[in-house]
């Protein structure tokens, strides 16, 4: 995979025009073809950077694609919000698997896909949805394994659009050159 990423970066070095839709599509499809669905960007994952990235989010509703990939990292606070919708803790336990338990530091994952709260391509618990859903397509650092870098899922086109705009900013700051630290692949998501 490093060879694919390296040739991808080398190819992009000679073409800093991110406005080329065909080239951008090829870049995203290259990553998706090797099942790398995340771009880790060279900015710290801080509220200001997240807000800047989310300003670029243009999500068509109803879509629901983000609810079809599997959901991990439901926190205790998230679980409390979900249960407040009228779901019992027993019912919650039937749709979620406990991944970690240390006192109130608990983490669950939804069993299977799509998310059981997806109805007619809309979230039936939208106002009570987990933080990981609120943040998507920005991925929590704890899921990325790097607590300091902003990572964006490119599984969906709106996520790829955020990545494109953030890369455009990167290119402007880097004088039109793609730097190697921009494209850092992680595990499959």
Give the pLDDT confidence score for residue 94 in this predicted structure. Answer: 94
Give the pLDDT confidence score for residue 24 in this predicted structure. Answer: 76
What is the token pair recorded at 56?
């670029």
Q: How far apart are CA 91 and CA 169, in angstroms?
A: 45
Taking the whole predicted model, whether its pTM rises above 0.85 is answered as no
93-133 residue pLDDT tens: 999 999 888 877 888 989 988 999 999 989 999 999 999 89
Give the pLDDT confidence score for residue 178 in this predicted structure. Answer: 55
What is the token pair recorded at 135?
């943040």
CA-closest candidate to residue 178, choices 166, 188, 160, 187? 166
Residues of the chain with pLDDT under 50: 1-2, 4-5, 16, 180-189
Give the pLDDT confidence score for residue 10 in this predicted structure. Answer: 57
Gap between the terminal Cα atoms of the chain: 16
What is the token pair recorded at 148?
């300091």
The distance between the two most distant Cα atoms of the chain, rounded to a whole number of Å, is 56
Give the pLDDT confidence score for residue 144 in this predicted structure. Answer: 55
Q: How far apart are CA 4 and CA 56, in angstroms?
A: 28
Give the pLDDT confidence score for residue 68 in this predicted structure. Answer: 85
Q: Are 97 and 108 in contact (CB under 8 A)?
A: yes
DSSP state letter for 67: G
């Amino acid at each position: 995979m490093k060879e694919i990423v390296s040739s991808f970066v080398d190819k992009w070095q000679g073409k800093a025009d991110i406005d080329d839709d065909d080239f951008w599509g090829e870049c995203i499809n290259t990553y998706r073809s090797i099942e790398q669905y995340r771009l880790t960007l060279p900015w710290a994952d801080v509220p200001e950077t997240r807000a800047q990235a989310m300003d670029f989010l243009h999500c068509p509703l109803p879509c629901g694609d983000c609810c079809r990939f599997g959901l991990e990292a439901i926190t205790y606070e998230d679980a409390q919000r979900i249960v407040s919708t009228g779901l019992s803790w027993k019912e919650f336990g039937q749709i979620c698997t406990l991944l970690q338990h240390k006192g109130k530091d608990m983490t669950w994952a939804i069993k299977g896909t799509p998310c059981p709260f997806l109805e007619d391509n809309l979230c039936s618990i939208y106002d009570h949805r987990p933080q990981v859903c609120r943040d998507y397509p920005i991925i929590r650092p704890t899921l990325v394994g790097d607590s300091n870098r902003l990572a964006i899922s490119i599984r969906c086109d709106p996520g790829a659009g955020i990545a494109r705009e953030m890369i455009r900013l990167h290119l402007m700051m880097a004088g039109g050159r793609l730097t190697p630290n921009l494209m850092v692949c992680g595990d499959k998501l």
